[in-house]
Amino acid sequence: MAEKKLIEYVANLARVNITEKEADALGQQLEHILEYIDKLKEVNVDGVEPMRGLHLETNIFRQDEVVPFNNREDILINAPSREDGYFKIPQVIE
């Protein structure tokens, strides 16, 4: 099991209070995670290109196009206060 002092140290850094039972459970979980990482280190990755993300090669966003907007009144209906076709808000800068 992962060292108990390490679990308590990390819990203290995270400002989390844990019980003795929780510390034991977290220690076991951390131990399993570290074992899994060790298994991953054994995998042969020769010739495999590093992958930084799934969508880095193509732009998945649409083109930014200006389109006419004719629903101003529909939106302003929801405004608590409006003036001259715009939202009216309290002054925030002196």
> DSSP labels for 28-94?
HHHHHHHHHHHHHHTS--TTPPP---SSSSS--SPP--------HHHHHTT-SSEETTEE-------
Q: Give the Cα separation of 86 and 37 in Å (integer).
A: 57
pLDDT digit string, tens, across residues 48-66: 888 776 666 666 677 889 9
Considering the domain delimited by 4-41, tell me its CATH architecture. Answer: Orthogonal Bundle (1.10)
For the segment 66-70, the average pLDDT, to the nearest whole number, is: 86
pLDDT digit string, tens, across residues 21-45: 999 898 899 899 999 999 999 999 8
Question: For residues 37 and 46, is the Cβ–Cβ distance under 8 A?
Answer: no
Q: Give the Cα separation of 69 and 91 in Å (integer).
A: 27
- The reply to whether the predicted model has a pTM over 0.75 is no
Q: What's the pLDDT at 56?
A: 62
Domain boundaries, the chain: 4-41
